[in-house]
Amino acid sequence: MSEDKFDVIIVGAGLAGCTSACLLAQAGLETLVIERGNFPGAKNMTGGRLYAHSIERIFPNFAEEAPVERCIVHEKISFIDDTKSATLDFASPESDDPANRSYSVLRSRFDQWLAGKAEEAGASIVPGIRVDDLIVRDGKVCGVVAGGEEMEADVVILADGVNSILGEKLGMVSKVTPHHCAVGVKEVIQLSKQQINDRFGCSDKEGAAWLFAGMPSAGYMGGGFIYTNEDSISLGVVFGLHNMAEVGKTVPQMLEDFKNHPTVKPLVEGGKTVEYSGHVVPEGGLSMLPKLVGDGVLIAGDAAGLCLNVGYTVRGMDLAIASGEAAAKAVIAAKEAGDYSEKGLASYKAELDNSFVMKDLNLYKNLPGFLDNPRMFNDYPEMVTGIMSDLFTINGPSVPLRKKVMPHLKKVGFLNLIKDGLKGAKAI
Ligand SMILES: Cc1cc2nc3c(=O)[nH]c(=O)nc-3n(C[C@H](O)[C@H](O)[C@H](O)COP(=O)(O)OP(=O)(O)OC[C@H]3O[C@@H](n4cnc5c(N)ncnc54)[C@H](O)[C@@H]3O)c2cc1C
């Protein structure tokens, strides 16, 4: 490396950026990560559940040293209207295979750990500085402009998260549209370990993931979530931005209403809000995929829209880690070949295509369209809570079960039920 040129500069010390940095530094490449937050994780937000498979491949048994909160062993999905809830509850012991596990995480802790691993491997991480621009010569990205300085590199990895302004400037990423995004608002609410164990039926280290459809997003595309941390819970609401004009209330208000729902209120009672954050979630799936590779540049993680809303969960962290890994592998191959052109870096796309990242994006490509149907988040939650309410209400002579159920099915419409069932089967 010449004195003022790096092999790789990575923009953003999130999961994608830090994973790349770790693997590149391990391979002996001079790697610089520039992060605008005061420390890695300072500006990062997630709901809270990390599917371990992709990080487990890089750091086997990572959970033994990483600051994960709890291993998720309780799953709940509730359909809720303004007052009632019907819940599907699934519990299974912690898997013997670490790659099958998932953990609740708090990014301010977890990202610092991952950044530490990158530093241990030899990467330099510079927090508190924003990359303002890219140096582009003859169509090739040659470095970045940050803190008023120009820094050169053979390759720049854009891991700057959703709404990548730098990717937009290059013409590789399209401006995010409301149809491709949701907004998430979240509180971290401190409770004692014992309160969490009692309220969520967990023992120490065991955690719960609880998703809510219906009332949290006022019947529109979105939902509420609760993840249990070691001594706090992450509680939030995600709402599809394109319905903002119709809903008539703000997302922070949705969060407040969600906290006051009769099912949720006892879970948060006595808790202290210690963190409040809001963030955009890229939810367009395959339809918002940008150009991933250019001369001297790669785009990874949320910056590339590699995030999935699969209805019952949002997944972006495992995709960010896997894409960070794929980007690092491509840069290492390009260095060996001495070719940092778009062609020399093309193995990034091939690596992603062969991984679960593109396979899952393809698998769920019709899901955003399927979910964006008012019946999903309004009529069906109401139908389920209505049926349950009638099933469990006895007041005088009983009526046959079908007579209790039919009015609720009729309200949604049999044709709609069939149509949505068929569409749903095709979308997954
Ligand atoms: C409400 C919500 C709930 C979610 N729930 C889940 C979940 O439960 N499970 C899951 O797997 N995923 C979830 N996700 C998605 C997941 O959080 C993201 O997919 C993941 O964080 C993406 O990681 P990343 O490294 O690509 O980007 P980020 O984590 O956003 O990191 C980007 C980094 O780049 C930095 N940066 C940006 N611009 C610049 C610049 N110009 N100069 C320097 N630094 C810059 C930022 O400060 C940031 O640190 C959720 C997201 C939200 C918002």
For 203, the 3-state DSSP assignment is coil
Once rounded to an integer, what is the mean pLDDT over residues 177-187? 90
Which residues, in sequence order, are CB contacts of 333 under 8 Å at separation 6+?
347
What is the whole-number distance in angstroms between the Cα of residue 301 and the centre of ligand 1? 8
Question: Domain boundaries in the chain?
Answer: 5-67+106-174+290-354, 181-282, 370-425
Minimum CA distance residue for ligand 1 atom 22: 302
Once rounded to an integer, what is the mean pLDDT over residues 184-195? 97
pLDDT, position 2: 46
Which atom of ligand 1 is nearest to 17's Cα? Answer: 25
What is the whole-number distance in angstroms between the Cα of residue 45 and the centre of ligand 1? 6
CA atoms within 13 A on the CB side of 323: 33
267: Cβ below 6 Å to ligand 1?
Answer: no
Confidence of residue 85 (pLDDT cuts 50, 70, 90): very high
316: Cβ below 6 Å to ligand 1?
Answer: yes
Which atom of ligand 1 is nearest to 130's Cα? Answer: 42
173: Cβ below 6 Å to ligand 1?
Answer: no
For 220, the 3-state DSSP assignment is coil
Confidence of residue 312 (pLDDT cuts 50, 70, 90): confident
pLDDT for residue 4 is more than 80: no
What is the whole-number distance in angstroms between the Cα of residue 279 and the centre of ligand 1? 8
184: Cβ below 6 Å to ligand 1?
Answer: yes
What is the whole-number distance in angstroms between the Cα of residue 38 and the centre of ligand 1? 15
Which atom of ligand 1 is nearest to 236's Cα? Answer: 1
111: Cβ below 6 Å to ligand 1?
Answer: no
How does the average pLDDT of the chain come out, rounded? 93
321: Cβ below 6 Å to ligand 1?
Answer: no
Fold for 181-282, please state it.
D-Amino Acid Oxidase; Chain A, domain 2 (3.30.9)
318: Cβ below 6 Å to ligand 1?
Answer: yes
Which atom of ligand 1 is nearest to 34's Cα? Answer: 43
For 97, the 3-state DSSP assignment is coil
CB 209 within 8 A of CB 49: yes
Once rounded to an integer, what is the mean pLDDT over residues 325-329? 98
Which residues, in sequence order, are CB contacts of 309 under 8 Å at separation 6+?
182, 238, 281, 283, 285, 367, 368, 371
What is the whole-number distance in angstroms between the Cα of residue 346 and the centre of ligand 1? 24
pLDDT for residue 117 is more than 70: yes
Which atom of ligand 1 is nearest to 15's Cα? Answer: 25
49: Cβ below 6 Å to ligand 1?
Answer: yes
55: Cβ below 6 Å to ligand 1?
Answer: no
For 165, the 3-state DSSP assignment is helix
- pTM of the prediction? 0.94
Which residues, in sequence order, are CB contacts of 294 under 8 Å at separation 6+?
139, 141, 170, 172, 342
125: Cβ below 6 Å to ligand 1?
Answer: no
Which residues, in sequence order, are CB contacts of 296 under 8 Å at separation 6+?
140, 141, 142, 153, 154, 155, 156, 340, 341, 345
The CATH number assigned to the domain with range 5-67+106-174+290-354 reads 3.50.50.60
247-288: pLDDT as tens digits: 889 999 999 999 999 999 999 999 999 999 999 998 878 888
pLDDT, position 207: 97
Q: Strand pairing partners for 128?
A: none
At what angle are helices 356-363 and 347-354 packed, to 10 degrees? 60
Minimum CA distance residue for ligand 1 atom 38: 160
Which residues, in sequence order, are CB contacts of 168 under 8 Å at separation 6+?
174, 175
pLDDT, position 58: 96
pLDDT for residue 1 is more than 60: no
Which atom of ligand 1 is nearest to 44's Cα? Answer: 29
pLDDT, position 381: 87
Confidence of residue 3 (pLDDT cuts 50, 70, 90): low
Once rounded to an integer, what is the mean pLDDT over residues 19-35? 98
Distance CA 320, CA 117 (A): 16
